[in-house]
Structure 1
Amino acid sequence: MNKNIIAIAVASAGFIIGLAFLGNAIKNRNKADNTISVTGLGSKKFTSDLISWTGNFSRNSFELKSAYDQLAEDRKVIEKYMVSQGIPKKDIVFSAVDIQKQFNYNNNADGGSSQTFAGYQLSQSIALQSKDVAKIENLSRNITEIINLGIEFTSAAPNYFYTKLADVKQEMIADATKDAKERAEKIAENAGADLGDLKKATMGVIQITAPNSNEDYSYGGTYNTTSKEKEASITIKLEYVVD
């Protein structure tokens, strides 16, 4: 009899303790759910202050030395032209010479194929990087002047950058945080609650696109370099306790 009473008492105590743990868990769960999460946006438009541009020129010849000498002469002409356009010589960077053998491929009457040597193609590139965006832009658009000098020259589209991006990012973070907090305050007000302490803040990656474009954002961040005018944006996610 005593053993049965003791067993019942132990079981009852265990049941009561279990209810206490369950009640505390529910209470903590409800407390954890008593939060709101909001996302704020910060954005800013700006104009690039750094431009990068490259061009390429080449020569073809059956004689390697002849092609190299012609390319060297072209390099002098290009450098002289760049300096005449106000480009400091120290800002002009020429790459190493690239040498490629060229071949002509022919189909034989028996169904086979053969190749014949067609000479050497030597090419070299020139790169400019400057904060004088307008000057380099104008240079890249009027590159036909170099072609008119008898040089086989191709121009790439310029790339645009901004050197004060860190300052822009700080401003956007402040704006995004303010926007998120205002959203949280409005939600709490409409719910008849008080906004409590900030529990967590998560910052997204910076996205830089051309203004009014349909460029896609990427998980690791987007950086448009083809547009001189840019628009940057960043998101901040805040989680608050609601009292």
Structure 2
Amino acid sequence: MSGNKSVIIASLFLGAGIAAAGYFVSQTTLNERTGANTARVKGLSERVVQADTGRWLLSFSSFGRDVTQVTDVFEQTQAKSVRIHDILTAAGFSDDELRFTPLRKSDYTDRDNEGKIIDRYFLVSGSIQITTSEPQKIDPARQPIFDLAKDGIDVAQDSLRYEYTKLNDIKPDMLREATENARIAANEFASNAGVSVGGIQSASQGGFQIDAHSGSTSALDKLVRVVTNITFYLEN
């Protein structure tokens, strides 16, 4: 490869063995001022991890119309709270993982098109936030909670979120893997071009991305992904 020629390779399709290691886009340029050939390469590292934290929010309520019912409705709602607590405890959750909000009363008024009051009622409602470092306990508890509807106790799932919080534990290995995959891509180009890969001229990394492996935000498995951008020297 002559030092006074400019060569731009816009894209490179890697073989099946390279593709198995990840997806790479490579480009090479010839720097005429310095006479140095370089290959700019992207290296990908992906891995599936399991969430280590679960956050599950449930809510429940009881209905009343007459002010004389307020005490009874509060007691009904408290009884629902106890039933939910018992199910979650039986599912292996500790009290430290459960946070019940105080019960509260909310008043409502329905009006017709002319603004006349046609109904008055109130709800006594509560909620529970489950936060656990053992998120695998959540799924087995969901059916028993929702089965309470058979006894007239409707429990709403307001949110369910699984999180992976140990990114720092896998960052070094993933960056190493992405860098190695980038070098594989550079070596593939260099082999086709009849040159060899030298040292690194420059390198940078994109941010780590954590996405649900199945596409659902409530999935236990998470896909962690990082891409490195590395420029290698090419040697004749």
Q: Normalized against structure 2, the TM-score is what?
A: 0.71
Which secondary structure does the structure 1 equivalent of 2:109 belong to? strand
* Unmatched segments (≥5 aa) in structure 2: 1-30
What is the aligned partner in structure 1 of residue 44 from structure 2?
A: 41
Cα distance, 1:239–1:99 mapped onto 2, change above 3 Å: farther
Please show how residues 161-240 of structure 1 align to structure 2 within 5 Å. 161-211=163-213, 225-240=217-232
What is the aligned partner in structure 2 of residue 79 from structure 1?
A: 85
Q: Are residues 1:143 and 2:154 paired?
A: no
What is the aligned partner in structure 2 of residue 10 from structure 1?
A: none
**Does the Cα contact within 8 Å between 1:188 and 1:194 map onto a contact in 2?**
yes
Q: 2:162 aligns with which of 145, 156, 160?
A: 160
Tell me the distance in 1 between the aligned counterparts of 2:90 and 2:142.
Answer: 14
Tell me the distance in 1 between the aligned counterparts of 2:184 and 2:167.
Answer: 26
**Does the Cα contact within 8 Å between 1:140 and 1:155 map onto a contact in 2?**
no
What is the aligned partner in structure 2 of residue 127 from structure 1?
A: 129
Which secondary structure does the structure 2 equivalent of 1:227 belong to? coil
Which secondary structure does the structure 1 equivalent of 2:33 belong to? helix
1:169 deviates by 2.8
Higher strand share: 2
Tell me the distance in 2 between the aligned counterparts of 1:103 and 1:129.
Answer: 35
Which secondary structure does the structure 2 equivalent of 1:158 belong to? strand
Which secondary structure does the structure 2 equivalent of 1:30 belong to? coil
Cα distance, 1:200–1:70 mapped onto 2, change above 3 Å: same
* Unmatched segments (≥5 aa) in structure 1: 1-27, 216-223
Amino acid at match of 1:72: Q
Cα distance, 1:32–1:130 mapped onto 2, change above 3 Å: farther
Cα distance, 1:85–1:195 mapped onto 2, change above 3 Å: closer
Tell me the distance in 1 between the aligned counterparts of 2:32 and 2:58.
Answer: 64
Higher helix share: 1
1:155-199 alpha-carbon deviations (Å, 9 max, x no partner): 356322234332233222111110001212332333233433322
Tell me the distance in 2 between the aligned counterparts of 1:142 and 1:157.
Answer: 17
What is the aligned partner in structure 1 of residue 23 from structure 2?
A: none
1:114-159 alpha-carbon deviations (Å, 9 max, x no partner): 3445222232211212243343211112223433444232235632
Largest Rg, 1 or 2: 1
Tell me the distance in 1 between the aligned counterparts of 2:146 and 2:196.
Answer: 67
Q: Normalized against structure 1, the TM-score is what?
A: 0.70
**Does the Cα contact within 8 Å between 1:97 and 1:122 map onto a contact in 2?**
yes
Amino acid at match of 1:50: T
Tell me the distance in 2 between the aligned counterparts of 1:166 and 1:242.
Answer: 33
Tell me the distance in 2 between the aligned counterparts of 1:31 and 1:96.
Answer: 72
**Does the Cα contact within 8 Å between 1:101 and 1:120 map onto a contact in 2?**
yes
1:92 deviates by 1.1
What is the aligned partner in structure 2 of residue 13 from structure 1?
A: none
Tell me the matched-pair count: 203
Tell me the distance in 2 between the aligned counterparts of 1:210 and 1:69.
Answer: 40
Of the structure 1 ranges 46-55 and 198-207, higher mean CA displacement relative to structure 2 is found in 46-55
Which secondary structure does the structure 1 equivalent of 2:203 belong to? strand
**Does the Cα contact within 8 Å between 2:36 and 2:234 map onto a contact in 1?**
no
